[in-house]
Structure 1
Amino acid sequence: MPWVYDPHAGGVKIPEKTKESTRKRILAYAEKHYAGRYTRLEIRFRKQFCYIDAYMEPHVPDGFPPPGYPETREQYIERVRNTPTHLCRLRHFSEDRWSVAFYTYSKEKYEPTFFHNGSDHGTPEEGFEIGAIYLMAE
């Protein structure tokens, strides 16, 4: 069987220096382009992966909760505030060469995807932009 390159397999463990610069880059990009759309971002690293989650203020309509709902309005707000919205997972190959997987809530897993320009590799900022669709929902 011939060898086929897969940008969504393998990767390289992320060095500490790259973790810190990647975190700063993503946070700066998010603040510039999505300020006010999230309350905080959580950026985690594990082996060759960078996971990006957002926390958002919930929209709660008047009259919520309906009769019989299992939690109070305050309990609901607190739970949703503390539940992350998984945006994306980046796979590291080098400092500016990452692949991206979009978190799909319908399958509850990360699904490989391409960057907006059609490439299978890009920067951390371009990867964040893929997941930022969840920040635009409101």
Structure 2
Amino acid sequence: MPTPPESTKTSLGQRLRERAQQRWPALAIVNVRHRAGFAYITGELADGTTLPLCRLRYGGYANRWGFAIYLASKDGYEDSYLPNGSPVGTAEEALDCACALYLHDPTA
């Protein structure tokens, strides 16, 4: 599995924080932690509550990521499909999907 370059890691965080500001005002902070070819996305609410949201798998392109949703019931990640039916997409699509579930907005 390829590891994203530093420029991709930086732009991923910037893109996700921008998307959260535009679409998910309940998220005060979006954190991105990288490990090997994965990016782990968590959100923080204004009251300090931390929400694990999803895991992205780098596949060699900055705008195409594999998607795994965080399942609280399993305390882990499970490969999933985005609402468009694909297991890969943009980081913004993945954030929207995870936030729709955890922030209870089915319109996303």
TM-score when normalising by structure 1? 0.69
> Does the 8 Å contact 2:37/2:58 carry over to 1?
yes
Match among 89, 99, 104 for residue 55 of structure 2 = 89
Unaligned runs of 5+ in 1: 1-10, 59-80
Measure, in 1, the Cα distance between the counterparts of 2:87 and 2:75.
22
Q: Which residue of 2 aligns with 1:135?
A: 103
SS in structure 1 opposite 2:9? Answer: helix
Q: How many residues align?
A: 103
Measure, in 2, the Cα distance between the counterparts of 1:84 and 1:20.
21
**Relative CO higher for 1 or 2, CA cutoff 8 Å, sep ≥ 6?**
1
Unaligned runs of 5+ in 2: none
TM-score when normalising by structure 2? 0.87
Q: Percentage identity across aligned positions?
A: 34
Measure, in 2, the Cα distance between the counterparts of 1:33 and 1:122.
17
SS in structure 2 opposite 1:136? Answer: coil
Q: Which residue of 2 aligns with 1:122?
A: 89
Q: Report which of the two structures shows the higher radius of gyration computed on alpha carbons.
A: 1
Give the CA deviation at 1:126: 0.8
Give the CA deviation at 1:39: 2.2
Q: Which residue of 2 aligns with 1:33?
A: 23
Question: Which structure has the highest strand share of the two?
Answer: 2
Is residue 2:96 matched to residue 1:107? no
